[in-house]
Chain A
Amino acid sequence: MEPPHNSVVRTPLNSVIVQRRSKSKSYRQSYRSCLGAASRLGLTPALTARRLNTSRRAPKSHNISEKVNPEHLALLLKTEWKLSYVSPLYKFRHTQLKSYSRQLSAFIAAEKQQGLAVEVEGLQSGFRVTLSVVQGLTETDDDAETVLIQIHANPLFARQDEPQRSVWSGWLTCINGNTDYLHSLPKDFTCLPLCGCSGSEYLSGLVKSWFQQTFDCCFGPLEINHTSLQWLVALWTNCHMESSLQHLKMSWTLPVVPPLQVTYTVNPQDAWELWCSVRAGRQEEDEEEEEGGSIDIKEVMRLMQGLKGHFFRHFRLDLSAGSLRQVTTALGSAKCNGRIKISNSRYMITTLTLLTECALLKMPI
């Protein structure tokens, strides 16, 4: 039998690695010890507890522009965010944001200075950090209020009176978080599982490490997997009647040498009609249910199958062999590496609900 360290071969870094959740160690070890070698034969126990929802409510347009501060909303909409998941924050208080702002500024200033041999006068005052609550960006009472973090700095060669420029921004949110999970958390924990950052990697790293130190949490990259991207295709297409898609653009990468990228842009009206046709069968089935109440994963799959089928009929090339990397519409764009842009405030809640769910799947149990 090979030594145990040899039995785990890590995937090379060129492909992104999923961080696996695990139950308590003792439980796992006892399970392992009774099965011995068998656990290496696909019997990975207790790692499979939760899955993405297989059906979700159809996106309703939420007029959040009335509830949310327009300045905040504009920032949330104009930027492309790099997503991360965050484990629950210990002893985080929405009432202490002012003090957190000061602490984070000081932390960044201290970290910045570490690399310098001589203290440069006035450098520590270069960064101004603001943490604020985005009022109104929640769905249920269990959701913690969204927190927005903004970092401003003096431009490099600035005159005295020049205003500070925003150099980094980010937010932590929880929209429609699973109530069972939120209720199961011990007191003193605040769950804001979804984090978006925009700005230099260096500052992202600093902000994250400050949160980790202060609230005993951990951050990890949140990729948007194949299924979630397909969900977004369907959810966004479903909005077309109320707010035009302009185009439905999907990018696949096929694993050939050299790699082939296929961009498939569908006329919005045609995409909508295809979506209606795959939805039609369902509405006859359960008429009594409220109209367009929920979308099932099967309908999403049928939509994708229809699109892929049309492609195959022309090019005799099966897109299933590759993977969906990116979805773009006028309502937003999402990439598999966890970058998202939400361009329309009305459907922000729907998109964030899906992403919150993805982030919660990464939470330690």
Chain B
Amino acid sequence: MEDSTRRVLQRLIRRIPTPQLKTTLEKWSGMTVAQRGSMDYTQTKWALTEKLLSLCEENDWTTKHITELEMIYVIDNPNQGMWHGFQLLDPEDDAHSVELTQFKEQFKSHLGELVRHVSVKIKKHTDEAVWIRIAWGDSFSRPNHLKPTYVVHHLQTPYVFVTGLTSKQKPLLSQALVLSTRHHTIKDANLSGRKLTAIRDLLMKQYQQVFPTNFPSPLAEKNETVSNPKIEREQAGPGAHRHQMACEAFGDGMLPQLQSAVYKLETKFKDHTNRTMTERDEPFKCIVKFESTNLLESLRYCAASGIASTPVTPLLSSIPLKGRNYFVITDNGPGPSSQMHQSQN
């Protein structure tokens, strides 16, 4: 057995928390039933690693086996590392008819043409997502299995989610993806987060959305019933309205867990009490970052409670609406209009 295989295995076992180790190993085809039975998960991580290393020797596992195991683990626990969203643009006529085997073949061959040493593994997950694991090498070195890139793509959708990609590898991956999905270009969706599910739900709009309506919302009625008849909320109407507006902007119920949003502002400073700054020509440069364990829920609360005034500013509602969490805001050229232009980069 090669030394590098041992290292990859060691590193992988260290990454998997002991409670998940059992389920992950059980899904893996690398061990016989007897071997699986002989594993004692009450042992320390170190002992388990030693045991697996000896099994590795015995079964003559190759890197291929180990990467298989890694993929099982990553697919089950995708909410690690930073995931970035990309969007495929300008589909060709036959883009919708790309199916899995064709995609697999095409992707592997296109990437193989671009990079000499690259190891690609593609797996189809139960929820229709195609998982791609890429270990990169270059013309002189063999693929580095310790720092793989993971790509998740749902066939027939324009969205691709990537983690562990360096800027050097980005054009290579982009080209391979564009060619094999039969699109013309790919662009950064400016959306990133620690939870793959969250950014996927956000881009694919898989959360409870609320649309503007003229009818009284069921939300307001819900609140009425619980309160005591002796307690009356004077501003129940405006409160319910704020809540409705907040839900229209950010959605209702559980929202995708996005952790942050960043705005790069280069806009004029306008303050009627401060003439010097208002008359200044240069924009006021600043960066604003919003952070929370669930950003959209926090923002919804802000709007519903009146901390953020309603209707919600397009800057904030663009996060769910456009599925982005990175914005560059500049003024729309000189003039009295305070319209903001969100540059598409």
CB contacts (< 8 Å) of B263 on chain A: these are 314
Complex interface bits, B281-298 against A, C-beta within 8 A gives 1, otherwise 0: 010111111111111011
Given A260-B291, A264-B288, A265-B286, also A274-B312 (CB < 8 A): no
Q: Are A314 and B265 in contact (CB under 8 A)?
A: yes
CB contacts (< 8 Å) of B285 on chain A: these are 266-267, 270
A186 within 8 A of B: no
Q: Are B307 and A317 in contact (CB under 8 A)?
A: yes
Which residues, 249 to 271 on A, are CB-close (under 8 Å) to B?
Answer: 254, 256-267, 270
What's the least CB distance linking B268 to chain A, in Å?
10
A258 to B258, alpha carbons, bound, how many Å?
Answer: 12
Question: Do most interface residues of chain B lie in helix, strand or loop, or is the interface mixed?
Answer: mixed
B117 within 8 A of A: no
Q: Are B288 and A311 in contact (CB under 8 A)?
A: yes
Q: Are A309 and B290 in contact (CB under 8 A)?
A: no
Complex interface bits, A265-281 against B, C-beta within 8 A gives 1, otherwise 0: 11100100110111010
Given A256-B305, A273-B277, also A310-B284 (CB < 8 A): yes
Which residues, 268 to 309 on A, are CB-close (under 8 Å) to B?
Answer: 270, 273-274, 276-278, 280, 306, 309
Q: Are A270 and B289 in contact (CB under 8 A)?
A: no
Q: B307 — nearest CB in chain A belongs to which residue?
A: A321
Given A256-B305, A315-B308, A317-B307, also A261-B292 (CB < 8 A): yes
What's the least CB distance linking B278 to chain A, in Å?
9
Q: Are A263 and B288 in contact (CB under 8 A)?
A: yes
Q: Are B307 and A258 in contact (CB under 8 A)?
A: no
Among B271, B290, B338, contact of A261 (Cβ-Cβ < 8 Å)? B290
A318 within 8 A of B: yes
Q: Are A256 and B288 in contact (CB under 8 A)?
A: no
Among B282, B292, B309, contact of A258 (Cβ-Cβ < 8 Å)? B292
Q: B301 — nearest CB in chain A belongs to which residue?
A: A256
A316 within 8 A of B: yes
B322 within 8 A of A: no
Q: Are B277 and A315 in contact (CB under 8 A)?
A: no
CB contacts (< 8 Å) of B309 on chain A: these are 316-318
A313 within 8 A of B: yes
Q: A257 — nearest CB in chain B belongs to which residue?
A: B301
Q: A309 — nearest CB in chain B belongs to which residue?
A: B271
CB contacts (< 8 Å) of B276 on chain A: these are 273, 276-277, 280
Q: Are A257 and B289 in contact (CB under 8 A)?
A: no
B190 within 8 A of A: no
Q: Are B274 and A278 in contact (CB under 8 A)?
A: yes
Q: Are A262 and B288 in contact (CB under 8 A)?
A: yes
Q: Are B274 and A262 in contact (CB under 8 A)?
A: no
Q: Are A261 and B291 in contact (CB under 8 A)?
A: yes
A173 to B276, alpha carbons, bound, how many Å?
Answer: 41
Complex interface bits, B20-38 against A, C-beta within 8 A gives 1, otherwise 0: 0000000000000000000
A258 to B291, alpha carbons, bound, how many Å?
Answer: 10
Q: B276 — nearest CB in chain A belongs to which residue?
A: A277
Q: Are B315 and A310 in contact (CB under 8 A)?
A: no
Q: Are B284 and A259 in contact (CB under 8 A)?
A: no
A24 to B291, alpha carbons, bound, how many Å?
Answer: 47
Q: Are A258 and B267 in contact (CB under 8 A)?
A: no
A258 to B293, alpha carbons, bound, how many Å?
Answer: 7
Among A256, A261, A274, contact of B269 (Cβ-Cβ < 8 Å)? A274
CB contacts (< 8 Å) of A259 on chain B: these are 292-293, 298
Given A258-B298, A259-B298, A270-B284, also A313-B270 (CB < 8 A): yes
A323 to B57, alpha carbons, bound, how many Å?
Answer: 59
Which of B265, B301, B307, B309 has the most C-beta atoms of chain A within 10 angstroms of its own C-beta? B307
B302 within 8 A of A: yes
CB contacts (< 8 Å) of A314 on chain B: these are 263, 265, 267, 288, 313, 315, 329, 340
Q: Are A256 and B284 in contact (CB under 8 A)?
A: no
A270 to B281, alpha carbons, bound, how many Å?
Answer: 12
Among A256, A263, A277, A315, contact of B298 (Cβ-Cβ < 8 Å)? A256
What's the least CB distance linking A245 to chain B, in Å?
13
What's the least CB distance linking B18 to chain A, in Å?
27
Complex interface bits, A227-267 against B, C-beta within 8 A gives 1, otherwise 0: 00000000000000000000000000010111111111111
What's the least CB distance linking A286 to chain B, in Å?
19
Q: Using a CB–CB distance below 8 Å, which chain A residues touch chain B?
A: 254, 256-267, 270, 273-274, 276-278, 280, 306, 309-311, 313-318, 321-322
Q: Using a CB–CB distance below 8 Å, which chain B residues touch chain A?
A: 263, 265, 267, 269-271, 274, 276-277, 280, 282, 284-295, 297-299, 301-302, 305, 307-309, 312-313, 315-316, 329, 338, 340
Known interface pairs A254-B307, A257-B297, A258-B298; 7 further A-B residue pairs with C-beta atoms within 8 A, sorted by A's residue number: A254-B298, A262-B289, A264-B288, A273-B280, A274-B277, A316-B309, A318-B308
Q: Which 9 A-B pairs have the closest CB atoms?
A: A267-B285, A277-B276, A260-B298, A256-B301, A317-B308, A263-B289, A261-B291, A265-B287, A266-B286
